[in-house]
């Protein structure tokens, strides 16, 4: 088994925008627009200090998706790809706190207003203004445990780099036809360990 720390940063010009579902109750007689104005910051995932974090599963799913999209074959495995090995062969240790020289706090993030489908599905017809947190510049360190030795450092790094370009994270990412949430890995630090 191996552990890896990966230094991530946004690709310039590609902001990160979160859209976590929240359950903040509406106030009496509060319409949908007023509710959205009041609660848009609740779309952020945060730690106990109020620092915005990338959810561990967002990183996991981005790398898993890159394995599916790349479709690279495993040598000596009769045409098998790495997809299944990524699905069960690694996990992220925890959410990834973000900074840009100082911690990025939920209470300080900027807002982006977009024209969205009223029911959240493409082609719905009617549109409404929706607001989401926007983080123009960020970096963070993700801690990974790799449980399957078939995922060598070279293979893993290739898939992480692809995840940052073709999959991304957050709202309106490349995987869903958008441009947000693209990132690059600037450093990988590896360590082996025994159980």
Scan for tokens 């911690």, then name that residue: 103
So what's the pLDDT on residue 117?
85
- pLDDT-derived band at 194 (thresholds 50, 70, 90) equals confident
Average model confidence (pLDDT) across the chain: 95
Q: Are 180 and 17 in contact (CB under 8 A)?
A: yes
User: Per-residue pLDDT tens for 73-126?
Assistant: 999 988 899 999 999 999 999 999 999 999 999 999 999 999 988 777 777 678
pLDDT digits (tens, 9 = 90+) for 144-174: 999 999 999 999 999 999 999 999 999 999 9
C-alpha dihedral sign at 157, 161, 166, 170: positive
Strands 53-54 and 96-97: antiparallel
| Angle separating helix axes 56-70 and 153-162, nearest 10 degrees | 100
Q: Which architecture, in CATH terms, is 2-26+53-105+138-192?
A: 2-Layer Sandwich (3.30)
pTM of the predicted structure, to 2 decimals: 0.94
State how beta strands 127-134 and 110-117 pair. antiparallel
């Amino acid at each position: 088994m191996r552990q890896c720390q990966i230094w991530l940063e946004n690709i310039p010009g590609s902001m990160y925008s979160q859209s976590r579902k929240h359950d903040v109750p509406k106030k009496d007689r509060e319409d949908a627009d007023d509710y959205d104005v009041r609660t848009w910051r609740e779309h952020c995932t945060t730690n106990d200090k109020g620092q915005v974090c990338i959810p561990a599963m967002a990183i996991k799913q981005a790398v898993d998706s890159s394995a599916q999209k790349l479709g690279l074959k495993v040598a000596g495995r009769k045409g098998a790809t790495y997809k299944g090995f990524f699905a069960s062969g690694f996990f992220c240790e925890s959410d990834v706190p973000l900074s840009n020289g100082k911690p990025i706090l939920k209470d300080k993030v900027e807002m982006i207003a977009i024209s969205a489908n009223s029911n959240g599905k493409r082609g719905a017809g009617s549109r409404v203004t929706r607001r989401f947190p926007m983080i123009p510049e960020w970096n963070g360190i993700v801690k990974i445990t790799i449980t399957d030795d078939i995922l060598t450092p070279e293979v893993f790094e290739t898939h992480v780099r692809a995840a940052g370009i073709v999959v991304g994270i957050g709202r309106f990412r490349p995987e869903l036809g958008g441009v947000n949430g693209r990132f690059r890995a600037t450093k990988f630090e590896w360590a082996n360990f025994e159980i």
